[in-house]
Chains A and B, each alone.
Chain A
Amino acid sequence: MKFGEFGGQFVPEVLIPPLKELEKAYETLKEDEEFKKELDYYLKVYAGRPTPLYFARNLTEYVGGARIYLKREDLLHSGAHKINNTIGQALLAKYMGKSRLIAETGAGQHGVATAIAGALFGLKTEVYMGSEDVERQKPNVFRMKLLGASVIPVESGSRTLKDAINEALRDWVATFEYTHYLIGSVVGPHPYPTIVRDFQSVIGRETKVQIMELEERLPDCIVACVGGGSNAMGIFYPFARDSNVRLVGVEAAGKGLETGKHSASLCAGKKGVLHGMLSYFLQDDDGQIATTHSVAAGLDYPGVGPEHAWMKETGRAEYVAVDDSEALEAFSLLSRLEGIIPALESAHAIAYAVKLAEEMSRDEIIVVNLSGRGDKDLEIVMNLLG
């Protein structure tokens, strides 16, 4: 299953059978009433779904354009949307009879969400994390350990997220019989981009119902930040066929697209193949994958999910980039105006939504996916803003 030419299964032969096993299990379980009931139960009473769709009155008044709504994924247990996927996949692993979870993490948010799901379902959890990131994200390392997971520092390559994925894949090649690799975004070989999209689509499904209740119509525009792209795909996908709803993905322009120090693979990358998928990647002329930068660690990845690549190619969604300083400004703005401290990742979406709303009329509606809360970023922001 591909998204146009994107996606696929570009993996060593040994991983083909476990990917087939996963695909088969998922296709069966997603229709299984018991599985669906259990997933809904945990999303509701454990993770805290549904999350509110909040009309940001103060921000709307301040901007003086379109009405801005925030989908409050930041209110979920663990503080971000990541848990929608980790609960789903951990449950999938349990139904498949796997006893161990492995995951990659950059900033540690997906690692923490996986550790939570591992603790909840009694699965041994090991998280690969670049040694650079282990240093930079000590509180999350501690959180994961507290939650009973082991954190394995990755010393290879650039010692960041992409290397953690490589290392998790290396582990999985040797352990797939009893291990589920719980990928944290809509990336990786098929069926992962589909599985993660489906588990995250609860965001968009709820948004659709909520906006109909509140406004009796669909929004004009949906804005979400894009690293690998899971929160964006989660809110975009249920609106994919509503062609009047404009979908905007916001990548990290880091220190500026012209500096090369960014993570905007759709805006500035080229087609390529990594981590099992054909998609857009930041790379040099030889195809060596670039190192990336963003103030938001969760966006700091040189690739993007294949379905986003396809949405870009078909024009169904548009992709833009917001730099570190604009994101920091939005971080402060939302904190001050609404009393909501957004994750630096989500602040990218806020920053662009503010720009868009300004140009739109007062009877138009924008929904921003507020994918996570900013407590985890306080130290970084303190150092930057003083």
Chain B
Amino acid sequence: MSFKDAHASVYPKTPWLVTFVTAGDPSPELTLKFMLALEKHSDIIELGIPFSDPMADGPTIQKANVRALKAGTKVKDVFEIVRNFREYSSKPVILMTYYNIVYARGVENFLREAKDCGATGVIVVDLPVEESEEYLRACEKTGMDTVFLAAPNTPDDRLRVIDEVSSAFVYLVSLYGTTGAREELPETAFKAITRAKSVCRKPVCVGFGVSKKEHVKALIDAGADGVVVGSAIVRLIEEFGEGAAEKIEEFVSELRKGLEKS
């Protein structure tokens, strides 16, 4: 099976709506409910494993990490959540976390556990290609998909390498800053998409600051293969707590409309 065929058997056709929640926020029990709410209108679920020091995240997701850890969420609980999710859905689940979480368990062990619970791939926010030799070898061995980050200031030669080592998609950060919903999309996003699409062969998904249907539409129109929405969803959990599932479903179904070709 070619890479393309293998990819197509796991991932739906682009464009994608990728949606994010932090596992364990506000409790491990509720996360499954939220994932199922996301699932109906999303192509890929990104599930954050909480970390004590989420340095690439803005205030919204930082607070989600705090809530999750306060609720006692352990990494094994996150794997359990994915295992339970698999009873209801076959949609791809990408785990997103920081390298210390992976490293503390032993890189290969972490990936094997992730694979066994039914996760599709992993994003490690603070692991650039230069530091990822052991990680990449273990991903290949365990069959976990990889997603590396690219940024507006990533030069073409690096983009090429990032594209090379990302088996699921390239996660293009739209701006200079941390995660967090923003009113307006930054100009940097559009320039970055044009450049990334000219260099990368894998799907390019754009995230950071995306919070509305209009944003989704504008990014897809600019050539993105997918759009990642995180903080805007996490904000609903912050506001509505246990009752957020319905709001999430409503919100994601609205975002989904941004994918429709005009």
Given known pairs A13-B150, A13-B154, A14-B151, the reply for A173 and B128 (CB within 8 Å) is no
* Nearest-neighbor residue (CB-CB) of B177 within chain A: A174
Cβ of A273: which chain B residues have Cβ within 8 Å of it? Answer: 98-100, 103, 126
Known: A10-B131, A17-B155, A170-B178. A274 touches B53 (CB 8 A): yes
Query: Quick one: which of B100-149 are within 8 Å of A by CB?
Result: 100-105, 125-128, 130-131, 148-149
Q: Is the CB of B177 within 8 A of A289?
A: no
Q: Are A162 and B53 in contact (CB under 8 A)?
A: yes
Classify the interface of chain A: helix, strand, loop or mixed: mixed
Is residue A105 within 8 Å, beta carbon to beta carbon, of the partner chain? Answer: no
Count residues on chain B whose CB falls below 8 Å from chain A CBs: 42
Q: How many A-B residue pairs have CB under 8 A?
A: 111
Q: Which residues of A contact B90 (CB under 8 A)?
A: none
Binds B, one of A69-77, A205-213, A280-288: A280-288
Closest to B153 in A: A17
B104's contact among A13, A163, A169, A285, by CB below 8 Å, is which? A285
Please give, as numbers and ranges, the residues of chain B lying within 8 Å of A78 by CB-CB distance.
Answer: none
Q: Could you tell me which residues of chain A, from 137 to 171, have a CB within 8 Å of some CB in chain B?
A: 156-157, 162-163, 165-166, 169-170
Identify which of B8-16, B55-63, B233-241, B246-254 touches chain A.
Answer: B55-63
| Docked pose: A10 CA to B132 CA in angstroms | 9
Interface size on A, residues (CB 8 A): 37
Inter-subunit contact A11/B126 (CB<8 Å): yes
A258-307: which have CB < 8 Å to B? 270-276, 278, 281, 283, 285-289
Distance in angstroms between the alpha carbons of A176 and B175 in the assembled complex: 13
Contacts A156-B59, A173-B176, A274-B53 given; indicate if A12 touches B100 (C-beta within 8 A): no
Q: Is A8 an interface residue (CB 8 A)?
A: yes
Per the bound structure, the CA–CA distance linking A162 and B153 in Å amounts to: 27
Q: Closest CB-CB distance, B79 to chain A, in whole Å?
A: 12
Complex Cα distance A8/B100, Å? 14
Tell me the A28-58 residues at the B interface (CB within 8 Å).
Answer: none
User: Given A10-B131, A272-B103, A286-B101, are A157 and B52 also a contact pair (CB < 8 Å)?
Assistant: yes
Cα of A156 to Cα of B53 in the assembled complex, Å = 9
A275 surroundings in chain B (CB, below 8 A): 53, 55
Shortest B155–chain A CB gap in Å is 7
**Residues A287 and B128 in contact, CB atoms below 8 Å apart:** no
- Which of B105, B130, B155, B176 meets A287, CB within 8 Å? B105
From B56, B98, B105, B158, give the contact of A173 (CB < 8 A): B56
- Best-buried of A11, A18, A175, A288 by chain B (most CB within 10 Å): A288
Q: Which residue of A lies closest to B176 (CB)?
A: A174
Does B51 interact with chain A (Cβ within 8 Å)?
yes
A14 touches B66 (CB 8 A): no
- B53 contacts which of A17, A166, A176, A285 (Cβ < 8 Å)? A166
User: Closest 6 CB pairs between A and B?
Assistant: A287-B104, A14-B151, A174-B177, A287-B100, A166-B55, A288-B52
Q: Which residues does A use to contact B, with CB under 8 Å?
A: 8-14, 16-18, 156-157, 162-163, 165-166, 169-170, 173-176, 270-276, 278, 281, 283, 285-289
